[in-house]
Amino acid sequence: MKNKILDLIKSSASNENDYKSLVSIFNLYDQLQYATNIKQMAEDIFSWLNKEFNVDNLTFSLFDINKNYKEKIYEKGEEFFLDDELSHFFIINTHTSLNATVSFCATSKVQFKMIEAKYDTIEAAFFQISPIIQSGILKKNFIESSSLDSVTNVYNRNYLIENLTTHLRLSNNTQSEIYFLMIGIDHFKAVIDEFDYDIGDKVLIELAKIIHSNVNEFDMVGRLNGDEFLVSILNNASEYQAEELAKKIISDFAEVSILIDEEKNQILKKTICIGFEVYRLNSDITITECIKNADIALYEAKNKGRSQLFKFGDLSAEDTIDLF
């Protein structure tokens, strides 16, 4: 690809079209330098392809060579498949374990041939911007390493609390209530004792998947410690809706079968309990106190058996709250 950008530079002196292509590539390069994250870079790449080649759909992904894992960062337009005869696929080599892939699909054979004729220009552009994409990936990895739990890929405790505090400061009273679901796995220690930490991690990962499949993009999910997860419902749901969501997470996880030994066809099924608390804006209670209340509610839920939901507001004098 290096030769292609050099060839384009050489030919631009005498070829007006090549000169315009070169200007376009460097405009993209300049634009990407203002992007603050990898998703914004993907959006800028789409805008460039749309402007220059009338591309109206795109999938931008990161592919981890070591883990053989692909993460979709950005999708635009109608769904398409790579085996479509009108599709195009490019790899942006970042010289790290994570390479970026860009794919899109022409809407007609005429457009496909037009893009094919400009293939070298697109490849030259992707070669030119690869250092910026590499920088974006490194920044993404740094942020995730400091903000995400290494096992479940949800927020860690510190980052979750920090984000919640920021959210409340910026909310400007647009939301009157936030609901906290403190989720804990029933008898999780028994999993570690009977099997090992790898199986325990599998249980945690499956629970994280179930939680994410039920919450929306505005809600926050974090792993606080051990087997405890905190869900912060920030989407203006009612208390009834938040309770129903908690019940669904409980029932969905109870249906999950975790493979222990493939040869023996051995599976593990676990259950969870949830403690429920309401945080009301402009109240005297702090976020930290509210989270502690949700934890107390979880303790009471576990005292009542498996797959239980308990609201801190329902705590009575008869309930045991001596946690320490």
Q: Are both 99 and 135 inside the same structural domain?
A: yes
CA dist 248 and 184 (Å) reads: 15
Residue 64 predicted with pLDDT over 70: yes
Residue labelled with tokens 């938040």: 242
C-alpha distances out from residue 318 to 210, 300, 315, 321, 324, Å: 33, 11, 8, 9, 17
pLDDT tens track for 180-203: 999 999 999 999 999 888 899 999
Q: Are both 171 and 47 inside the same structural domain?
A: no
Under the banding of pLDDT at 50, 70 and 90, the label for residue 2 is: low
> Of the residues 99, 123, 145, which one is the last residue of a structural domain?
145
**Total count of domains within the chain:** 2
Q: Are both 163 and 131 inside the same structural domain?
A: no
The pLDDT score that the predictor gives to residue 260 is 87
Identity of the residue numbered 103: S
Element (H, E) at 246: helix 239-254
The pLDDT score that the predictor gives to residue 323 is 46
Q: Are both 242 and 132 inside the same structural domain?
A: no
End-to-end Cα spacing for the chain = 64
CATH for 214: 3.30.70.270
Judge if pTM exceeds 0.75: no
Q: What's the number of CA atoms in the CB half-sphere (13 Å) around residue 197? A: 2
Q: What are phi and psi of 268, to 5 degrees?
A: -125, 135
Q: Are both 134 and 200 inside the same structural domain?
A: no
Residue 322 predicted with pLDDT over 60: no
Helices 157-170 and 287-303: crossing angle in degrees, nearest 10, is 130
The pLDDT score that the predictor gives to residue 174 is 60
CA dist 159 and 152 (Å) reads: 14
Tokens of 154: 């949800």
pLDDT tens track for 206-236: 999 999 999 988 899 999 999 999 999 988 8
pLDDT tens track for 143-171: 777 888 888 989 999 889 888 888 777 76
Residue 244 lies in a domain: yes
Q: Are both 169 and 300 inside the same structural domain?
A: yes
> Of the residues 145, 179, 210, which one is the last residue of a structural domain?
145
